[in-house]
């Protein structure tokens, strides 16, 4: 029997690459997103092992409906890849749009949390399952303009660890994948709203690719049942750390 995975944000970027990779590993994948046409294109590529599901993770009713459909179709969910997410804007906090902040929280925090809440009881009941959250290096390493986006990913990081604490004594696993700069997805276009500015983010950087993230997900998911990978942080070699900044007052003349 093929294992069943739900991958959110499957219509683009990491989610599409993760769906491809999990199917290559023998999973049946329910790929969820808002854009049905994109999911259908992926279904045409991946065949019967890929099931498109239109589900906006900011819509509680859509999550209830989607998860209800999954439990009617399949015996149980073996893997949830909580990948749907976005960053909006790079403005400093004092200039940022409240609407952008609320959309990031609604998607990256509330959407992800609702899905955990929806699937976890079934996994515990069957004493089997794995939740792989897609966090970010932005959840651990602050940067200017990262404000609420980084905070949503810090939430994902801590939620992943706290779930492990509550799941003690069960066989249910939780992991957080924390990528750094990764190109070839729609992430920067969504964030900056401009193709040229988005392309400039990756110029000369040899960033990670969506396949690198899919590789990490597949590795984490295929460890022996006794092994829980708590977190995987990955960056391109070109990305590293900067020191703390000090703003110095200009000496009075």
Ligand X SMILES: NC(=O)c1ccc[n+]([C@@H]2O[C@H](COP(=O)([O-])OP(=O)(O)OC[C@H]3O[C@@H](n4cnc5c(N)ncnc54)[C@H](OP(=O)(O)O)[C@@H]3O)[C@@H](O)[C@H]2O)c1
Q: What are the residue numbers of the active site?
A: 149
The CB-of-12 to ligand X minimum distance in angstroms stands at 4
- Does position 134 interact with ligand X (CB under 6 A)? The reply is yes
Among 160, 187, 192, 236, binds ligand X (CB under 6 A): 187
Judged by beta carbon, residue 58 or residue 171, the one nearer ligand X is 58
- Does position 126 interact with ligand X (CB under 6 A)? The reply is no
Distance CA 56, CA 52 (A): 13
In whole angstroms, what separates CA 250 from the centre of its chain?
44
Among 22, 67, 84, 216, binds ligand X (CB under 6 A): 84
Token representation of residue 91: 């403005």
Q: Could you tell me the CA-to-CA distances from 208 to 14, 54, 74, 180, 197 in Å, in that order?
A: 11, 28, 34, 8, 18
Among 107, 147, 160, 176, binds ligand X (CB under 6 A): 107
Name which of 68, 138, 151, 45 is nearest 104 in CA terms: 151
- Does position 192 interact with ligand X (CB under 6 A)? The reply is no
In whole angstroms, what separates CA 99 from the centre of its chain?
21
Greatest pairwise CA separation for the chain in angstroms = 78
- Does position 197 interact with ligand X (CB under 6 A)? The reply is no
Query: Environment class of residue 33 by beta-carbon count within 10 Å: exposed (0-12), middle (13-18) or buried (19+)?
Result: buried
Among 7, 15, 130, 174, binds ligand X (CB under 6 A): 15
The CB-of-123 to ligand X minimum distance in angstroms stands at 21
Judged by beta carbon, residue 11 or residue 160, the one nearer ligand X is 11
In whole angstroms, what separates CA 163 from the centre of its chain?
16
- Does position 147 interact with ligand X (CB under 6 A)? The reply is no
Judged by beta carbon, residue 124 or residue 189, the one nearer ligand X is 189
- Does position 54 interact with ligand X (CB under 6 A)? The reply is no
- Does position 182 interact with ligand X (CB under 6 A)? The reply is yes
Considering Cα of 225, then 66, then 112, then 88, what sign does the dihedral take?
Answer: positive
**Chain positions contacting ligand X, by CB under 6 A:** 8-9, 11-15, 33-35, 38, 56-58, 83-87, 107, 111, 134, 136, 179, 181-182, 185-187, 190
């Amino acid at each position: 029997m093929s294992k069943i995975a739900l991958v959110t944000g499957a219509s683009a970027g990491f989610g599409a690459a993760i769906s491809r990779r999990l199917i290559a590993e023998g999973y049946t994948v329910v790929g969820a997103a808002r854009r049905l046409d994109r999911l259908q294109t992926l279904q045409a590529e991946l065949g019967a092992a890929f099931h498109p599901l239109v589900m906006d993770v900011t819509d509680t009713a859509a999550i209830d409906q989607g998860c209800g459909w999954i439990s009617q179709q399949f015996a149980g969910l073996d893997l949830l890849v909580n990948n749907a997410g976005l960053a909006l804007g790079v403005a400093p906090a004092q200039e940022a749009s409240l609407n952008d902040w609320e959309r990031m929280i609604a998607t990256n925090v509330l959407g992800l949390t609702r899905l955990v809440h929806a699937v976890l009881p079934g996994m515990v009941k069957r004493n089997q399952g794995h939740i792989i959250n897609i966090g970010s290096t932005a959840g651990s390493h602050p940067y200017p303009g990262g404000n609420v986006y980084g905070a949503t990913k810090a939430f994902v990081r801590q939620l992943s660890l706290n779930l492990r604490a509550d799941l003690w004594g069960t066989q249910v696993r939780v992991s957080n994948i924390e990528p750094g700069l990764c190109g070839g997805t729609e992430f920067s276009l969504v964030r900056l709203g401009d193709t040229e500015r988005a392309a400039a983010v990756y110029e000369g950087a040899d960033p990670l690719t969506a396949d690198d993230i899919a590789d990490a997900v597949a590795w984490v998911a295929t460890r022996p049942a006794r092994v829980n990978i708590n977190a995987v942080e990955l960056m391109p070699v070109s990305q590293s750390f900067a020191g703390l900044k000090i703003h110095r007052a200009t000496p009075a003349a």
